[in-house]
Structures are given as C-alpha cells and as structure tokens.
Amino acid sequence: MAVATYSSDNVESVSSRRGAVLQRPFQVFVIAADFLLILLCYVVAAESYRAMVASAADGASIGAGLIVGAVFVAIAYFQGVYATHRLLSLVWQLRKAVIIWLASLTILAVAAFLLKSTDNLSRGTVIMFAAIGGVGLTSLRFAWQFALGTSFARGRLVDRKVVLLSLKPLDFTSNRFKDLRRNGFDVVRHFVLGGDSEATRWEREIRDVIRQARAADVDEYLLAVDWNELPLLQKLGQYLRAVPQPIRLLPDNSIADLVSRPFLPVSGTVAIEIQRSPLSVFERLQKRCLDVGVAAFALVVLAPLLVTVAVLIKLDSAGPVIFRQSRRGFNGKPFEIWKFRSMTVCENGQTIAQATKRDARITRLGRFLRMTSIDELPQLWNVLRGDMSLVGPRPHALAHDNYYDELISNYVYRHHMKPGLTGWAQVNGFRGETPTIDLMEKRVEYDVWYVSNWSIWLDLKIMVRTAAAVLFQEAY
C-alpha cells in the first residue's frame, strides 16, 4: 500500500479538532447574519418609504421582516446554503440567494392574503424591501467569498480534512482532483490500495488506513473509483463500515454522467434515465416565452439595420435579398430557413457545398455579413413562427443531414429539440465550416450534451456567450 502525505503540521489532531469545533459556530454566525440583515433591510425600507411619502404611517412593525427572515433562513438551511464549503461557490450562492429570496417574498404575499392582513402591509415598503434585501443578500455573498478566501478561514472554517483512497496512482492535475482544495477538501492522506490483494491483506491495509485517519482526526473519506473498478467498490465499503465519518465517491466521467441523471423509484430499486424525453409542457412554455420575447424585441430594435442590409444586398449583387433553404427541425420536420443572401448562388438541392474561407461564391458584402453573423438575423422570424428557437442545435442543409446521418451515430439525436439561431457547440468554438468528420462529430457531441442537459439558465448562458463568440471566432 502506497501512502502520500499532503500536509504536515496542519494534520495534527489538536489543529483538526479546533477546525471542526469552529465550523459549527461559524455556520450559526452565517445564519444569524442573513436573518439580521433581512430585518435591517426591512427597517431601512420602511423608514425610507415613510420619509419619502408623507402620508405613510409613522413607524413600521417588523413582523413582515421577521416572517421573511425566518422563511429565508429555513429554506436556505434545508437547501444546504450554509454548509461552509458551499459558501465558496459564489455563482451557486448567488443563484440560490435570489431564488430563495423571491420564494420568501412570495410566501409573505400569500400569507398576508390568506390572513386578510394585506391592509397592514405598505406596498411601497414591500417593493423597497424586495430591492434592498436582494442587493443586501447578494452583497453578503460576495463578502463571504472574500472572507473565506483567507488562509485563516480556509484552515479553521472551510476545509474538511479528508482521506483519499484509490486503487491506483492518480493524476492530480486532472479536473477530477485539481479543484479539491478550492472546494473545501483538504486531502491530508492519500492511500493507494492493492486492487488485486487478497482478503487478509486488504483487511490489514484498511485497518492501517483507519488508524492513520483517526490519528489525523479526519472529517470524511473520499473514494476515487473508476468505472472498471466498480466491482471492488462494495468490497471496499464493507471494510469501511467501521468508521463513523461520511464516505463519498469521487467518480470518473462515466460514473459521474450516470449518477447525475434523473432516476425513478421502482419498487425496491431505481430506474436511471439514460435518454431524456422531449421537454415537458412547462419547460417548452419557458423556452417559448423566452424565444418570443427576445425575438420580437430584437426585430423591433434591429429593424433599421435589417432594412439597411436588405438595400445594400440589392445594390451589391443580383438576386433575392432573402435566401431560403430547406432544413430539418424538431423530430426531423422540414421547414424553410431564412437568411440574408451572402453568396451569388442559392443552392437548395441534393448536393450543397459548404462555404470555405476564400469561397469565390461569397459576395463582397456577404463576406462581412457572414463574419459578423448579420446574415443569420432573418432567422428571428423563424423563431417567431415556431420553426426554430433562439438556442438549440444549428440546422444543416438537407443534403448535409443525409450525409452525416449515415456517418455519425448520434447525429439524429440533434432533432430531439428545435434547431437554434445559436447553440452550445457554436459558443464552444465549433462555428462555421466543418471540413472533416472529426469536427462534425465534436459539434454533434456538444449538441447532444445540450439536448440532454437543457435548462432555461443554460439558454441564457449561451445567449450571453454568443456575443463573445461572434466577436472572437472566425466564420465564413
């Protein structure tokens, strides 16, 4: 059995116990800070509104603030927001804080309605309270991020002392392990067990692991097990039943993909979702509302640009302003895509050649339109019609669909969602020409991942990243 030591003085028993003792009071301190901040925000909102509106009642009961504060910290606690290692994840904290804050305000409104006490609440105060409280809670998350980034906080409050067990030497530069410390795991020992060892030797090795872990007073155990080592996981778990600490699996990519999928309880076992169904009614409604709202707004704002481009295309070369081509949409249903014409040809047959970097078919104006993706803007009309979405797998010409469908096994999976004006593959660098099968396979891989992991937040993220992709990625 090989043993690697990752720290020295800081794994002493006394130091570790001090960190464990300090963590619990710190969690209470964080909870109290949120609760008191919400009360303070309510008082500030009430007094500010009273100062601005002379007719407002003098003074303000903090009852509403107490209710919202109690609801907020209760929901946040059961959502794991106050776990010390979770405080290090700024984006996760901000998202949780905003969602729980809105939920708490909603509960206040529903409670006031059911108790018929809405007359006792000042609408102006509640609106100011919502704004001030939201800003205060998000600002506090930034403060925790800064405070917990100090070496004292990491050594005393955040890091959990863990023992890492594996059946082979590990590459600690891989994404699987390199961020352990940043996410609150202080690996004080790493043991490499012999996967092919006999039972008596395994028992002796595990007892040595447990003895050293107790000496270091670790908080939990991490098991780094790969897919081909799963049969040994149950055997290892049986030996580790002697310890009272939590035991967590640090999976490889294959296991991580499997355990991250939704599961359905079936009697005494579970059924794991290997392929998700098309979006639910609520998810489709979310996506459609985003599509219609943004597309309609963009068409109104960009109307002068669209008209100008149309006139320039007509003056630059002969042919129609709008190029129409047959594409496949959701479930393979054909539709006609709209683009500004950027080439001297309007191919829409059984054989279509992709545009290349110095393609002679591209017009002078068309080269600029393609480089800036302005030629794609008429697809906002396809979005409004429901043929496309703002975000989704990019649609290809029917000739290309037929060609790649025979070469790439997952290609057809792209049609499980409406095609998009932009997509996950495009913002990850796979935009423009795909001259080789390898490049198209990579694009399809990103598209399939998007279909399997869709969320409204992912769509918003892709839309934000699209602007940067247009500026810094070359297309032609």
Q: What is the 3-state secondary structure (H, E, C) of 181-203?
A: CCCCEEEEEEEECCCCCCHHHHH
pLDDT higher than 70, residue 187 = yes
Contacts of 341 (CB under 8 A, 6+ apart): 313, 319, 320, 321, 322, 323, 363, 366, 375
Q: How confident is the model at residue 8 (pLDDT cuts 50, 70, 90)?
A: very low
- Average pLDDT over every residue of 361-366: 81
Contact 369, 321 (CB under 8 A): no
Distances (CA, A) of 328 to 304, 335, 384, 402: 30, 6, 17, 10
Handedness of CA 273, 276, 279, 281 (dihedral sign): negative
Q: Write the CATH number of the domain with boundaries 160-272.
A: 3.40.50.11900
Q: How far is residue 9's CA from residue 319's CA, in Å, rounded to a whole number?
A: 77
The band of 83, judged by pLDDT with boundaries at 50, 70 and 90, is confident
Query: Greater confidence, 149 or 281?
Result: 281
143 vs 91: CA distance, rounded Å: 13
Indicate the DSSP class of residue 54: T
Segment 11-53, tens digit of pLDDT: 333 333 334 434 566 778 888 999 999 999 998 988 888 887 7
Task: Give me the pLDDT at residue 347, please.
Answer: 61
**Residue 418: pLDDT above 80?**
yes
Give the per-residue pLDDT at 218.
79
Paired with 251 in beta bridges are: 225
Neighbouring CB atoms inside 10 A of 394's CB total: 20
Cα distance between residue 155 and residue 169, in whole Å: 27
Q: Which pair of structure tokens corresponds to residue 314?
A: 């007509």
Distance between CA atoms of residues 473 and 371, nearest Å: 9
pLDDT classification of 390: cutoffs 50, 70, 90: very high
What whole-number distance in Å separates Cα of residue 288 and Cα of residue 386?
8
251 CB neighbour count, 10 Å cutoff: 19
Average pLDDT along the chain: 79
For residue 293, name the pLDDT band (cuts at 50, 70, 90): very high
Q: Of 7-11, 87-91, 263-267, 294-298, give the lowest mean pLDDT range.
A: 7-11
> Of residues 354 and 212, which shows the higher confidence score?
212
Dump pLDDT digits (tens) for 420-474.
Answer: 999 998 888 877 666 678 888 888 889 988 988 888 999 999 998 887 766 655 5
Considering only CA atoms, which of 452, 15, 44 is closest in space to residue 277? 452
Tell me what pLDDT residue 389 has: 94
Write down the pLDDT at residue 316: 83
Task: Return the half-sphere exposure (C-beta side, CA atoms, 13 A cut-off) of residue 326.
Answer: 13
Q: Which amino acid is at 369?
A: L
Strands 220-225 and 185-192: unpaired
Domain map (residue ranges) of the chain? 11-151, 160-272, 281-472
Q: Hey, how many other C-beta atoms are within 10 angstroms of the C-beta on 63?
A: 12
What residue type is assigned to position 153 of the chain?
A: A
pLDDT in tens, 241-270: 777 888 888 888 777 777 777 777 887 788
Share of the chain above pLDDT 90, in %: 19
- pTM comes to 0.51
